[in-house]
Amino acid sequence: MTAPLIVGLAGVSLTDDERAYLRDVRPLGIILFARNIGDAAQISRLTEEAAALSGAGLVFIDQEGGRVQRIRPPLVPRYPPAATIGRLYARDVEAGRRAAHLVGLLIASDLLPLGINAPCLPVADVPVPGSHDVIGDRAYGTTPEAVSVLAGAVADGVLEAGAFPVVKHIPGHGRAMVDSHVSLPVVEATREALEVDFAPFRALSALPMAMTAHVRYTALDETRCATLSPRVISLIRNEIGFGGLLMSDDISMGALGGDLADNAAAALAAGCDCVLHCNGDMDEMRLIADRLPPMAPSAATRLAAVLARRNKAPAGDIAALREEFSALTEEPA
């Protein structure tokens, strides 16, 4: 039976403990980081073996371009940050939209031959003045309209290539004044003001997967961050309208504090479909697996719907598309 869990791995090949864990726990996915990246043949071996042992249909990676790109040259091209595409969109709407579509398609096309089918992009957060740069140039713009259009185009490109985008960080990380990797952002904006944050996610609510924000919004829940809050997860489902597979952000991040296994269980109890644990620490992975219930039937249905959305059509002449993208995103001097 598939476990409602996505896990990281320690290195470039599976350890015996990891093989046993994947076989016994059967997480629904794995996620790769720079520590897992060697050459193309090594990545393919790692993803193939991990998927065979766990039965996992999904292999995730943060591959946005800019500073968040786990696989880099010479294996794949270096892509510009989202803000570059946002600046192009401000100058030329159609060129910006086309560049956004192409970057999603090209990133997915880089990853699929390596056995990676779930790039964690686009970022649909709308940063506000003074916010922490943990989002910064990862955002496609500073207005809901620009972010909605460009993040949607990126996601369409990923889907066209045959992969599954993960939109993040729902319901919005753009007002965070601290880095949630380190401590918990607390956002005191009014419910009305938060509509700006929600708008891109509402526009993208038909996408197959989303990742939560480890952010506490006092107007929505005074005591719990979004990942652990039934109120916020209900808002994501019923007001924003997201119906796809909902995963937590990394459960081991500094924002949450407290007991790791308790937090993992609380995220599922709040309404997340699965929990993400990234650091590859086997002791932590075992603790979490021991505490998690089986995947809920509703989550299993959403997972099946994700996998059913795969587009098997060829992506076209990738070399020509790369040249087009490069020409579009070459910024004026």
Q: What average pLDDT does range 314-328 have in this prediction? A: 90
Q: How would DSSP label each residue in 88-113?
A: HHHH-HHHHHHHHHHHHHHHHHHHGG
Residue recorded with tokens 């869990």? 5
Q: Over the stretch 281-300, which tens digit does the pLDDT of each residue have?
A: 999 999 999 999 999 999 99
Sheet containing 274-277: order of strands: 118-119, 58-61, 27-32, 3-8, 274-277, 245-250, 209-212, 166-170
In 193-296, at which residue ranges do the beta strands (DSSP E only) sit? Answer: 209-212, 216-217, 245-250, 274-277
Q: What average pLDDT does range 259-274 have in this prediction? A: 96
Per annotation, catalytic residue among 92, 133, 181, 317: 181
C-alpha distances out from residue 136 to 81, 82, 171, Å: 10, 9, 17
Q: How open is the CA angle 321-322-325, to the nearest 5 degrees?
A: 85
- Please choose, from the candidates 244, 238, 288, 243, the residue with its C-alpha nearest in 3D space to the C-alpha of residue 267: 288
Query: Which residues contact residue 139 at a Cβ distance below 8 angstroms, ignoring those fewer than 6 apart?
Result: 82, 83, 86, 123, 125, 126, 127, 147, 174
Distance between CA atoms of 152 and 155, rounded to whole angstroms? Answer: 5
Q: What's the topology of domain 3-311+322-329?
A: TIM Barrel (3.20.20)
Position 332 pLDDT exceeds 80: no
C-alpha distances out from residue 26 to 20, 29, 117, 187, 332, Å: 10, 8, 18, 36, 49
Q: Over the stretch 188-243, which tens digit does the pLDDT of each residue have?
A: 999 999 999 999 999 999 999 999 999 999 999 999 999 999 999 999 999 999 99
Distance between CA atoms of 219 and 233, rounded to whole angstroms? Answer: 14
Per annotation, catalytic residue among 249, 250, 273, 277: 249
Q: How many residues are recorded in the chain?
A: 333
Q: Over the stretch 27-61, which tens digit does the pLDDT of each residue have?
A: 999 999 999 999 999 999 999 999 999 987 899 99
pLDDT bin (cut points 50, 70, 90) of residue 311 is confident
Farthest-apart Cα atoms in the chain, separation: 56
Distance between CA atoms of 122 and 168, rounded to whole angstroms? Answer: 7
| Residue 23 token pair | 């076989």
* Residue 262 bears catalytic tag: no
* Residue 17 bears catalytic tag: no
Q: Over the stretch 113-158, which tens digit does the pLDDT of each residue have?
A: 999 999 999 999 999 998 888 899 999 999 999 999 999 999 999 9
Tell me which DSSP letter residue 274 carries: E
pLDDT bin (cut points 50, 70, 90) of residue 315 is low
Distance between CA atoms of 107 and 64, rounded to whole angstroms? Answer: 8
Distance between CA atoms of 141 and 136, rounded to whole angstroms? Answer: 9
- Please choose, from the candidates 328, 331, 311, the residue with its C-alpha nearest in 3D space to the C-alpha of residue 102: 328
Kindly list the domain boundaries of the chain, sorted by start residue. 3-311+322-329
